[in-house]
Structure 1
Amino acid sequence: MTFFNLEKLQDAQKANLDLLQQISGKIFASVEQLTQLQIKTLKASTEEQFDGFRKLLAVRDPQGFAELQASFTQPNVQAERLAEFNRQVQALIVGTQSEIAKLATHQVEVGTKQVQEFVEVISKNAPAGSEPVVAAFKSSLANAGTVFESAQKAVKQAADVAQSSFDAATATATAATGKAAPETGKATSGNK
């Protein structure tokens, strides 16, 4: 008599391999999206630079140069672009993390069920007098499940706090650059 069902063991190995493939796919897709975002941002920045050079070459007098210089020093525009880029990257990271967490949680649930089935088989076939050991093993298994659930909740709370902190920092930075923009405008208009 054997406690191990080789077919179930092979199925578990196949499931783990499938999980690894799914996680790899999610990571590669996220890296691809991040690369596309970076290329899009770099392309827009390059176009903006060339547009600035074209405007600079078109300047004919000091007044035009001063106006052009003032248009380049708009911190709120740059800060908003950076904040938007960071928001998109953050959303990509959070989305990928969430998808991977769902896959891992499902796999843990399946694994837990398999372990519970194994424990039941052992407990049915255990010799007389071993009930306390089997009960302790079952209790340990239940405690491990509780610890895993607590860890999942803590990770989710930490992710929520990090997202809230990121959102608050972005809002603060955007508000600060919004206040700085009028001051910059006053400084440049005083220099004309």
Structure 2
Amino acid sequence: MSTLTPQQLIAAQQASLSTFFGFANQAYAGFEQLVALNVQAGKVNLAETQAIMTKAATAKDPSELFALVSSLQQPASEKLAAYGRHVHEIVSGAQAEFSSAATAQFQQVQKDAQGFIESLAKNAPAGSEGAVAAWNSAFSAANATYESATKAAKQFVATVSAGA
């Protein structure tokens, strides 16, 4: 029977840490993009507010003030929509990166598990064919479940994205 060596355990732990920090770095990159977007939006908003307040202070009568307020409504909604699109792009990009990395990680785990089962089958003592077949069957069922879940999740994301 095959057993894990300390070197294999250390390698598995290092791979897990590498994966964890890869995901953490991706999360921070997305967060950094959102912060940069908000800083930029804040600067633009401050400059525009200053310009508006200057115009409002120089208004000679209430009709000029009402005209100024009316002229600001359409650009404000357009800016809000553009901001929402930028946030959606950042979040969608981060989600795609996470999904890609998770898929790659799962495929590696799947490959390693298949190798383990094959090694188990080769090194199994006589009479344990039923147990090895059960392991193989369970592994195949888990893979089929993962594939179905992945397909359903991708369809859900596509549906939600199409509606947005």
TM-score by length of 1: 0.79
Q: Is the 8 A contact 2:56 2:68 kept in 1?
A: yes
Q: Of the candidates 143, 155, 159, which is equivalent to residue 161 of structure 1?
A: 159
Could you tell me how far 1:62 is from its partner in structure 2? 4.1
**CA distance 1:119–1:58, change in 2 (3 Å):** same
**How far apart are the structure 1 equivalents of 2:96 and 2:70?**
43
Could you tell me how far 1:63 is from its partner in structure 2? 4.0
SS at match of 2:51: helix
**CA distance 1:98–1:66, change in 2 (3 Å):** closer
- 5+ residue gaps, structure 2, are none
**CA distance 1:157–1:109, change in 2 (3 Å):** same
Pick the structure with greater CA Rg. 1
Could you tell me how far 1:5 is from its partner in structure 2? 3.5
What is the number of residues matched between the two proteins? Answer: 164
Whichever residue aligns with residue 4 of structure 2, its letter is F
**How far apart are the structure 2 equivalents of 1:70 and 1:104?**
49
Q: Is the 8 A contact 2:59 2:65 kept in 1?
A: yes
Which structure's relative contact order is higher, taking Cα pairs within 8 Å and 6+ residues apart?
A: 1
Q: Is the 8 A contact 1:3 1:122 kept in 2?
A: no
**CA distance 1:66–1:123, change in 2 (3 Å):** closer
Could you tell me how far 1:88 is from its partner in structure 2? 0.8
**How far apart are the structure 2 equivalents of 1:110 and 1:62?**
69
**How far apart are the structure 2 equivalents of 1:60 and 1:8?**
80
Counting aligned pairs with the same residue, the percent is 33
Instruction: Give the aligned partner of residue 172 of structure 1.
Output: none
- 5+ residue gaps, structure 1, are 167-192
**How far apart are the structure 1 equivalents of 2:150 and 2:47?**
44
What are the residue-to-residue correspondences of 1:59-138 with 2, within 5 Å? 59-72=59-72, 74=73, 76-138=74-136
Runs of 4+ in 1 over 6 A off after TM superposition: none
Q: Is the 8 A contact 2:23 2:98 kept in 1?
A: yes
Q: Over the residues paired in the alignment, what is the CA RMSD in angstroms?
A: 1.6
Whichever residue aligns with residue 4 of structure 1, its letter is L
**How far apart are the structure 2 equivalents of 1:122 and 1:69?**
75
Measured against aligned partners, the alpha-carbon deviations of 1:86-134 in whole angstroms (never above 9, x if no partner) come to: 1111111111111111111111111111111111121112222221221
**How far apart are the structure 1 equivalents of 2:116 and 2:132?**
12
**How far apart are the structure 2 equivalents of 1:65 and 1:107?**
59
Q: Is the 8 A contact 1:59 1:65 kept in 2?
A: yes
Instruction: Give the aligned partner of residue 137 of structure 2.
Output: 139
TM-score by length of 2: 0.91
Instruction: Give the aligned partner of residue 40 of structure 1.
Output: 40
Q: Is the 8 A contact 1:3 1:121 kept in 2?
A: no
